Structure 1
Amino acid sequence: MPELPEVEVTRRGLQPHLVGRTVQGVRWSNRRLRAPMPRQLLDLYIRGGRVAAIDRRAKYLLIRMTS
């Protein structure tokens, strides 16, 4: 489990590369999610969306999307 400073460094590193970009596709590398949700449904929500912000809550990265 990463420590809090590493999570913040990761957030700051990803932010300039992802914010404002549009998601063209989704590739799954792990079945475990924080909350269970069908992958097809997640694909519908994520694909074509624009990354609005990357935030952090404790040790979780939150990627906020707009459609």
Structure 2
Amino acid sequence: MCTCPSCPTWVECGEKGGFCFPAIGKSGCISEEKGCICTGCPVYEKMELKNMYYCIRGSEKEQMGM
């Protein structure tokens, strides 16, 4: 279900993705924004997310300052 590994920003380093989930949080490897496909992810729609670049900027809650 997670589309993170298909993203242009993805860096292969053993992480599994799912950075939009607060329990997972930001990537420890990804640091450069090269394009984002979060809005096309089924999780994005199902969880009614609004932001992007969860791998770098953090979860929805983090980006909203919560």
TM-score, normalization by structure 2: 0.26
TM-score, normalization by structure 1: 0.26
Of structures 1 and 2, the larger Rg is shown by: 1
Q: Which has the higher helix share?
A: 1
Q: Which has the higher strand share?
A: 1
